[in-house]
Structure 1
Amino acid sequence: MTIGLLGFQTTIAAPVTLTGIGVHSGSSVGITFQPAEAGTGIVFSRNFEDGSVAEYRAVSSQVGNTDLCTVLGTSLARSVATIEHVMAALYSLGIDNVVVEVDGGEMPIMDGSSHPFIEAIEQVGIVNLGIKRRYIRVVKPVRIESGASWSEFRPYDGTRFEVEIDFASPLIGRQTWKGDLTAATFKQELARARTFGFMRDVERLWAAGYALGSSLENSVVISDDDTVVNIEGLRFEDEFVRHKTLDAVGDLALAGAQFIGCYRSYRGGHKMNANALKALLSDPTAYEVVEAPSRSQRVRAGEFVPVSMPEFAPWAG
Structure 2
Amino acid sequence: MKQITLAKAVKGVGIGLHKGEPIEIMLEPLEANSGIVFFRKDLNISYKAEPNNVINTQMATVIGDNRGYVSTIEHLMSAINAYGIDNIRIVLNANEAPVMDGSSISFCMMLDEAGIKELDAPKKIIVIKKAIEVKEGHKFVKLIPSKIPKINYTIKFDNAVIGEQNYCFEFSKKNYIEEIARARTFGFLKDVKALRAMNLGLGGSLENTIVIDDNRILNPEGLRFKDEFVRHKILDAIGDLTLLGSRVFGDYISYAGSHHLNHLLTKALLEDKDAYEVVTLSKNYEKAYEKVFA
TM-score (norm 2): 0.96
Change (3 A) 1:130 1:158: farther
Counterpart contact for 2:54–2:64, Cα < 8 Å = yes
Tell me which residue corresponds to 1:112.
102
Counterpart contact for 2:122–2:282, Cα < 8 Å = no
Tell me which residue corresponds to 1:259.
248
Counterpart contact for 1:71–1:80, Cα < 8 Å = yes
Which ranges in structure 1 are unaligned for 5 or more consecutive residues? Answer: 1-6, 303-317
Q: Which one of the candidate residues 92, 105, 121 is aligned to 2:82?
A: 92
User: How far did 1:295 drift?
Assistant: 5.8
Q: Which amino acid aligns with 1:34?
A: E
Tell me which residue corresponds to 2:47.
56
Tell me which residue corresponds to 1:70.
61
Q: Which amino acid aligns with 2:117?
A: V
User: How far did 1:131 drift?
Assistant: 1.3
For residues 105 and 97 of structure 1, what CA distance do their matches in structure 2 show? Answer: 21
Q: Which one of the candidate residues 184, 205, 215 is aligned to 2:174?
A: 184
Q: Which amino acid aligns with 1:124?
A: A
Q: In the alignment, is residue 218 of structure 1 matched against residue 212 of structure 2?
A: no
User: How far did 1:199 drift?
Assistant: 0.2
User: How far did 1:241 drift?
Assistant: 0.1
For residues 223 and 253 of structure 1, what CA distance do their matches in structure 2 show? Answer: 32
SS in 1 for 2:65: coil
For residues 20 and 91 of structure 1, what CA distance do their matches in structure 2 show? Answer: 21
For residues 294 and 14 of structure 1, what CA distance do their matches in structure 2 show? Answer: 28
Q: In the alignment, is residue 299 of structure 1 matched against residue 287 of structure 2?
A: yes
User: How far did 1:128 drift?
Assistant: 1.3
User: How far did 1:124 drift?
Assistant: 2.2
For residues 137 and 278 of structure 1, what CA distance do their matches in structure 2 show? Answer: 15
User: How far did 1:118 drift?
Assistant: 0.1
Q: Which one of the candidate residues 140, 143, 146 is aligned to 1:150?
A: 140
Q: Which amino acid aligns with 2:220?
A: I
Q: Which amino acid aligns with 2:20?
A: G
Matched residue pairs, number?
290
> Deviations 1:68-97 (Å, cap 9, x if unpaired)?
00000133x610000000000000000000
Q: Which amino acid aligns with 2:288?
A: R
Alignment RMSD (CA, Å): 1.3
Q: In the alignment, is residue 81 of structure 1 matched against residue 71 of structure 2?
A: yes
For residues 281 and 90 of structure 2, what CA distance do their matches in structure 1 show? Answer: 28
Counterpart contact for 1:292–1:299, Cα < 8 Å = no
SS in 2 for 1:72: strand
SS in 1 for 2:45: strand
> Deviations 1:168-192 (Å, cap 9, x if unpaired)?
1011111111122110011000000
For residues 86 and 159 of structure 1, what CA distance do their matches in structure 2 show? Answer: 20
1:234-273 equivalences in 2 (<5 Å): 234-273=223-262
Tell me which residue corresponds to 2:15.
21
> Deviations 1:244-267 (Å, cap 9, x if unpaired)?
000000000000111110111100
Q: Which amino acid aligns with 1:137?
A: V
For residues 84 and 289 of structure 1, what CA distance do their matches in structure 2 show? Answer: 23
Q: Percent of aligned pairs with the same residue? A: 40
> Deviations 1:3-30 (Å, cap 9, x if unpaired)?
xxxx210001110001011100111111
Counterpart contact for 1:60–1:256, Cα < 8 Å = no
User: How far did 1:116 drift?
Assistant: 0.2
Q: In the alignment, is residue 193 of structure 1 matched against residue 193 of structure 2?
A: no
Counterpart contact for 1:165–1:175, Cα < 8 Å = yes
For residues 52 and 216 of structure 2, what CA distance do their matches in structure 1 show? Answer: 39
Which ranges in structure 2 are unaligned for 5 or more consecutive residues? Answer: none
Tell me which residue corresponds to 1:39.
33
